[in-house]
Amino acid sequence: MQGRAWAAAVLLGSLLWGRPALAAPAPLDCQAALAAAQRQQQELHQQAKTLAVLMLGEIHTSVDDHAWQLGTLERLSSQRQLILALEMIPAARQPVLDRFNTGELDVAGLLREVDWPAVWGHDPNLYRPLLHWARLRRVPLLAINAEPALVRQVRQRGLATTPTAERGGISEPRPASPAYRQRLEASWRGHQALGISSGRDADLQGFIDSQLLRDRAMAEQLAAAHRHNPQSLLVALIGVGHLEGGDGVPSQLNDLGLTRQLSLRRPTLPGGCAPAPQGARLGAYLESDASGVWVRQVAPGSAAAAAGLRPGDRIVALNGRVVQRAGEVIRGVRLHPDAQPLVITVDRGGQRLDLKLRLPPSSDPRLAARDNGANA
C-alpha cells in the first residue's frame, strides 16, 4: 500500500463533503506548483473549522511527507483542538498511548511499549519529530490500526472464513470499488514479483480482504473518537494507498456516516523549487554570477509576484542604484523603509523595465544579507 511520489504534483482534497480524495497529479512548473501548494493551505484553513476528520497521506519512508505533516499540524493547532491519529499503531495498544498522553511515558518509552519494530517496522526516527510535537503541544495520540496478527490471519484465510468473533470487534467492510480493487491487485502483483505473494487467486483475495480490514479498523476508530470528542479535529497520518480516489479509509468513513472529512497529500515541488521562507519581504529566490543578479523563483502571493517580477529577470538597480550581487538586493530590500514604494529595475530579454513594489513591513531591518543564492 505504498507508492512512489510523483515528480511534480499537488493533490488537493475534494471540496465536497463525503468525497475526500487524493487527486491524480499533473506535471507543474515551479511557479504553478508553489501556487497550488499555497491554495492547498488556504483551502484547508477555510475548511478546518467544520471538518471532523482530516487525513494526511504519506509515503511511510518519506522525510518530506513527515515534514509536511508536521507543518500542517502546527498551523492547524492554532485553529482547532486536535487529536493525532496514527495508522502506525494498532488500536488495541491504545493504553500505551494513554500513558504517553498523561506524561507517564516519553517518546522512547512509547516506541518500546508498543513494540514499534513488530507493529510498524519503518524507521522510528522519521516519526519522532511528530511524537515530540504532540507531547509539546499536548495533543493526544490515538491508535487506529488493526493488530498485525489479525491482518495476517485475514490475509491467509480471507474475511469470509474469519468469524466475526475473531475480528477484534471490526465490522464488515464496505466492498472495494472496481478502481480500488484494481489498485490493490496492482500492489499485490508487485508483491508477487518480489516473491512476497504466492500468485494464487485466493492469495489475491486474501490480500484485498486484509487491506479492507485495515481500512475498516481505522475508519471505525476515527468514527468512535469523533463521537466521543466531537469538538476536536481528528488528524490521521495514513499511507496514501489507503486514501487514493476516495477509497480505503474515506470510503469506510462514508459507510459509517462520517462525511465531514478531507484527504490531502503533500504538494510535491519540482527539483530545485522551494517557497520563499516565512517573513521574506520580496518573496523571490536570487542568484548572482558574473553577469549580475538573477531571479530564479518568485513566491505566489508575494510582493515580487504582485509587481510582476518573473524568473529569468536580471535585477539591474534598486531605486536607481545599480546592484551587481544578490546580497546587495537582499540588504536593500530588508533596509527599505516601510510604507514607501521600492522601484526595481530589471532587464527582461534585453528590455529595461521599472517595477514598483509595495513591501510588507520589515520584522527586523538589521538582519544581515546573504549573497549567492538567497531569499529576499
State pLDDT tens for residues 289-298: 888 899 888 8
Q: Measured between alpha carbons, how far is residue 277 from residues 46, 64, 330 in Å?
A: 22, 16, 13
Alpha-carbon span 49 to 102, nearest angstrom: 27
Of residues 195 and 255, more confidence is placed in: 255
- pLDDT tops 70 at residue 275: no
Q: Which residues contact 118 (CB under 8 A, 6 or more apart)?
A: 148
Cell numbers for 251, please give them: 470510503
Cell numbers for 244, please give them: 487514493
Cell numbers for 99, please give them: 500513558
Residues 19-44 have a mean pLDDT of 70
Cell numbers for 172, please give them: 464488515
For the chain, give the percent of residues with pLDDT over 90. Answer: 60
Of residues 216 and 195, more confidence is placed in: 216
Q: Which residues contact 303 (CB under 8 A, 6 or more apart)?
A: 281, 282, 283, 357, 358, 359, 360
Alpha-carbon span 330 to 318, nearest angstrom: 10
Cell numbers for 374, please give them: 538567497
pLDDT of residue 124: 94
Of residues 24 and 294, more confidence is placed in: 294
Residues 250-268 have a mean pLDDT of 96
- pLDDT tops 90 at residue 238: yes
Q: Measured between alpha carbons, how far is residue 138 from residues 84, 141, 310, 345 in Å?
A: 10, 9, 43, 50
pLDDT of residue 45: 93
- pLDDT tops 80 at residue 12: no
Q: What is the tens place of the pLDDT at every residue in 198-232? A: 556 668 999 999 999 999 999 999 999 999 999 99
Q: Which residues contact 83 (CB under 8 A, 6 or more apart)?
A: 139, 140, 141, 142, 225, 229, 232, 233, 234, 235
- pLDDT tops 50 at residue 370: no
Residue 369 pLDDT level (bands cut at 50, 70, 90) = very low
Alpha-carbon span 69 to 34, nearest angstrom: 17
Q: Is the pTM value of this prediction over 0.85?
A: no
Q: Among residues 174, 176, 191, 114, which one has the least CA distance to residue 145?
A: 114
pLDDT of residue 373: 47
Q: Which residues contact 78 (CB under 8 A, 6 or more apart)?
A: none
Q: 233-239 and 53-58 as β-strands: parallel, antiparallel, unpaired?
A: parallel
Q: What is the CA radius of gyration of the chain?
A: 25
Average pLDDT of every residue of the chain: 85
Alpha-carbon span 88 to 239, nearest angstrom: 9
193 φ, ψ (degrees, to nearest 5): -65, -30
Q: Among residues 327, 295, 325, 324, which one has the least CA distance to residue 308?
A: 295
Q: What is the tens place of the pLDDT at every residue in 72-121? A: 999 999 999 999 999 999 999 999 999 999 999 999 999 999 999 999 99
Alpha-carbon span 242 to 251, nearest angstrom: 10
Q: Among residues 59, 75, 54, 52, which one has the least CA distance to residue 12?
A: 54
